[in-house]
Amino acid sequence: MKKKIVFMIINMNVGGTEKALLNMISEIPKDKYDITILMLEEYGGFLNSIPREVNVEYLNEYKKIKDVLNNPPHITSLNLFKKGKVLEAFKLSIVHLLSKITKDRSIFFQHVLKKYPVLKGEYDMAVAYAGPMDFISYFIVNNIRAKKKIQWVHFDITKIGFNKQFASKIYNKFDKIFVVSEEARSKFVKMVPQLKEKSEVFLNIVSPNIIHNQSKEGKGFKDSFDGLRILTVGRLTIEKGQDLAIQALSKLIKHGYKVKWYCIGEGNSKGKYEKLVERYNLHEHFIFLGANPNPHPYINQCDIYVQPSRYEGYCITIMEARCLKKPIVTTDVNGAREQIVNEENGLIVGIDENEIYKAVEKLINSKELRNKFSSNLSNENFNSAIEMKKLFNVF
């Protein structure tokens, strides 16, 4: 009989976490495991990338509680009061106050989910994959029956709003906590040392065969530019650092380099970045390509790949650029030193536009160095079996 696994995430937005999940699912034998993806929202550019043999379900009641979970509690209480739901507004205010005093967000989740039943059926394994995401962690622990439960941590918890008290209470109920890089796990253990024994590094997975095949699909760059193409892939948000890329590009153009910098992704900082492009008069040099579930043709065709992030967990786009043997510049974020050996298969720089500029300039001026990095990357081995064994061992 097949073992049943459910992975719970927010949606299938085009992002690193979602891609990491799809990559991992592709490595799970479908003849031995029955896989379900449970989403809070039916949304995202990767929806069509989910394999047909994978079950897809949605938490339909989430629509009713989304505003309560995401809006400031005083605004929700005020709205309830205006609707005449005085008692409900009062209860929510009290619960929020208790949650704040005790620093225990689970009190708030318990109130919000008090009428929500435990999901029907039982799984062999339930995974809070979009982690840290407190609501999903709480839901897995309290509203899903499973023999084994796993919490995933994708980010540098020192850079996000990580609730140590909540994690100490809820994460302790998981059988295993996977963290996506050695550096990220080190920071996790430092913040919640009592969870050290339950935590383990699980590096994100890529499939070189899939990446190479997808790199041949589509046409990639459509313009006829004959200079050097620089590429960055990621959500247009402050943590991904595209503003640093724009400022680095302005220096390259000022010094006469014939380059274009292309950016794949969408996000809430796009307007800000477009204004920055206008400010530096780079509208012909910094090109927004929008979101694309398959960036591999562009990665394959670019001359230099740059990851200017302010923080990461374990960057998948760097892995993809490595698979396609591209000269890489990355900022010194979590997981960077686990993928790049500085001056051997790429360049690692500080989170600073000047350092990014100098590293890119170095690669522009040295075709020999670019070729060296590409040659060294061709000898790398991407073996997913070691990581997948960690997942199966939980059983």
d(CA 264, CA 19): 15
CA angle 297, 303, 305 (to 5 degrees): 80
Within this chain, do residues 131 and 230 fall inside the same structural domain, yes or no?
no
**What contacts 275, CB < 8 A, 6 or more positions away?**
none
Burial of residue 1 (number of CB atoms within 10 Å: 0-12, 13-18, 19+): exposed
Rounded to whole angstroms, the Cα distance separating 271 from 118 reads 42
Q: What is the DSSP string of 255-296?
A: TT--EEEEEE---TTHHHHHHHHHHTT-TTTEEEEE--S--H
Please check whether residues 277 and 235 belong to one and the same domain. Answer: yes
Task: Decide if 382 is inside a domain.
Answer: no
Amino acid at 56: V
Q: How confident is the model at residue 114 (pLDDT cuts 50, 70, 90)?
A: confident
Taking only the tens place, the pLDDT of each residue in 250-270 is 999 999 999 999 999 999 999
**pTM score, whole prediction:** 0.89
Domain co-membership, 38 together with 126: yes
Please indicate, yes or no, if residue 71 is contained in any of the structural domains. yes
Question: Which domain does 292 fall in, by range?
Answer: 209-377
- 22 versus 110: the higher-pLDDT residue is 22
Residues 111, 95 contacting (CB under 8 angstroms): yes
Average pLDDT, the chain: 92
The three-class DSSP label of residue 157 is coil
The β-bridge relationship of strands 347-349 and 328-331 is: parallel
- The Cβ-side half-sphere exposure at 113, using a 13 Å CA radius, reads 22
What is the CATH number for 293?
A: 3.40.50.2000
For residues 225 and 255, state if they share a domain: yes
Q: How many domains does the chain have?
A: 2
The token pair at 248 is 């680095």
pLDDT tens digits, one per residue of 266-322: 999 999 999 999 999 999 999 999 999 999 999 999 999 999 999 898 999 999 999
Residues 146 and 283 in one domain: no
For the stretch 155-173, pLDDT in tens is 888 887 788 888 888 999 9
Token duo for residue 188:
């996790």
For position 160, what pLDDT does the model report? Answer: 79
pLDDT at 80 over 70: no
Question: In whole angstroms, what is the distance from residue 55 CA to residue 42 CA?
Answer: 13
